[in-house]
């Protein structure tokens, strides 16, 4: 029961925000005339904002310190990135959620409480319903874009990327609802998933930087190559040889987090020329921080 409650809330704190921002990036990427798509993306954005508010209220004194301190829930740049992105896109972003997250206390206050478990079950079912719709919406966008019936400023690969992340979120919550606990995940599969995500982040960053940012483009390209090689090594190894690969992945991801943090600081400070929304920079930093926490836990 404690594990079920804590893991559900920690998952929503991370992935609920990620889904909210996916909807925002989709919304911001459509031409002004595509009102049906804009309105639907906006609806999902506001629904996941409500999910996040509910999660924050339930999470105080209930979630782990390692999650709250990992930089996956928020970073030092998140509020500024939200304020700047709201101003640039004219999409309202409730940054009070981030301010409330900063005040969250770790602990296990009511982890065994039956009433709390019922609230978590209701929240999980609500999220699963939203995810079914959001995944279908993303898949529809991808199909329309790749058949040249719809324009968006988002790469087709980025849309595939955010579909995979939504499906992982769905899988985690579904497992929790079936078993009330997450079994020890196969680290090989986990690393393959997140190494793919990290590689694609580097490709997106490379493609969204201004061509004059030669050094940053080169660094992003190098990280894309690093993660591509890690993926290839993982394909050629069995689980017995994973420890060495995990250590190598951990070192690469530490450096990548530093690169993304410097990039987020540069973008929010208007020191980097790009077409990267400040919140997108912070978004990919939080995902790298999340992966880094997983790798550190595996190495303990």
Identify the domain boundary among 149, 168, 183: 183
Is residue 71 in a domain?
no
Number of domains the chain is built from: 2
Is residue 56 in a domain?
yes
pLDDT at 193 over 80: yes
Identify the domain boundary among 120, 154, 183: 183
Q: Does one domain contain both 26 and 163? A: yes
Q: 292-297: long-range contacts (C-beta < 8 A, 24 or more apart)?
A: 292/70, 292/250, 292/253, 292/254, 292/257, 293/66, 293/67, 293/70, 293/72, 294/190, 294/194, 295/191, 295/246, 295/249, 295/250, 295/253, 296/250, 297/66
Which CATH number fits the domain that encloses residue 241?
1.20.1260.120
Q: Does one domain contain both 149 and 268? A: no
pLDDT at 203 over 80: yes
Which whole number is the average pLDDT over 168-174? 96
The CB density around residue 65, as the number of other CB atoms within 10 Å, is: 11
Q: Does one domain contain both 15 and 142? A: yes
pLDDT at res. 300: 64
pLDDT at 4 over 80: yes
Which whole number is the average pLDDT over 82-105? 97
Q: Does one domain contain both 25 and 43? A: yes
Is residue 87 in a domain?
no
pLDDT at 180 over 80: no
Q: Does one domain contain both 129 and 277? A: no
Q: Does one domain contain both 208 and 294? A: yes
Q: Which domain holds residue 282?
A: 186-300
Residue 209 bridge partners (DSSP)? 274
Is residue 146 in a domain?
yes
Q: Does one domain contain both 118 and 241? A: no
Q: Does one domain contain both 5 and 110? A: yes
Is residue 224 in a domain?
yes
Q: What is the pLDDT of residues 50-70, one digit of tens each?
A: 999 999 999 999 999 999 999
Binned at pLDDT 50, 70 and 90, residue 1 comes out as confident
Q: Does one domain contain both 55 and 204? A: no
Q: Does one domain contain both 54 and 121? A: yes
Is residue 91 in a domain?
no
Q: What is the pLDDT of residues 268-292, one digit of tens each?
A: 999 999 999 999 999 999 999 999 9
Identify the domain boundary among 183, 214, 231: 183
- Of the chain, the percentage scoring pLDDT greater than 70 comes to 94
Is residue 93 in a domain?
no
pLDDT at res. 113: 76
Of 289, 290, 294, 279, which is closest to residue 29 (Cα–Cα)?
A: 279
Q: Does one domain contain both 197 and 123? A: no
Q: Does one domain contain both 250 and 262? A: yes
Is residue 35 in a domain?
yes
């Amino acid at each position: 029961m404690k594990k079920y409650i804590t893991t559900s809330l920690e998952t929503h704190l991370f992935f609920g925000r990620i889904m909210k921002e996916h909807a925002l990036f989709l919304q911001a990427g459509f031409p002004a005339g595509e009102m049906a798509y804009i309105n639907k993306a906006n609806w999902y954005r506001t629904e996941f904002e409500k999910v996040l508010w509910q999660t924050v209220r339930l999470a105080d004194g209930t979630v782990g310190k390692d999650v709250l301190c990992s930089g996956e829930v928020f970073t030092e740049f998140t509020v500024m990135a939200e304020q700047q992105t709201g101003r640039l896109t004219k999409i309202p972003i409730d940054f009070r959620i981030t301010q409330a997250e900063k005040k969250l206390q770790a602990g296990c206050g009511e982890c065994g409480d039956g009433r709390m478990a019922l609230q978590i079950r209701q929240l999980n079912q609500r999220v699963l319903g939203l995810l079914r719709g959001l995944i279908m919406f993303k898949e529809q966008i991808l199909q329309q874009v790749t058949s040249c019936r719809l324009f968006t400023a988002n790469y087709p690969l980025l849309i595939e990327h955010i579909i995979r992340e939504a499906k992982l979120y769905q899988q985690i919550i579904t497992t929790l609802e079936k078993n009330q606990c997450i079994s020890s995940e196969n680290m090989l599969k986990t690393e393959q998933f997140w190494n793919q995500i990290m590689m694609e982040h580097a490709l997106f960053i490379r493609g969204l930087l201004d061509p004059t940012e030669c050094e940053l483009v080169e660094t992003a390209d190098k990280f894309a190559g690093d993660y591509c090689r890690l993926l290839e090594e993982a394909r050629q190894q069995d689980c017995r040889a994973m420890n060495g690969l995990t250590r190598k992945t951990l070192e690469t991801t530490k450096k990548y987090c530093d690169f993304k943090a410097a990039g987020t600081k540069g973008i929010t400070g208007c020191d980097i020329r790009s077409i990267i929304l400040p919140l997108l920079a912070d978004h990919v930093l939080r995902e790298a921080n999340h992966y880094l926490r997983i790798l550190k836990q595996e190495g303990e």
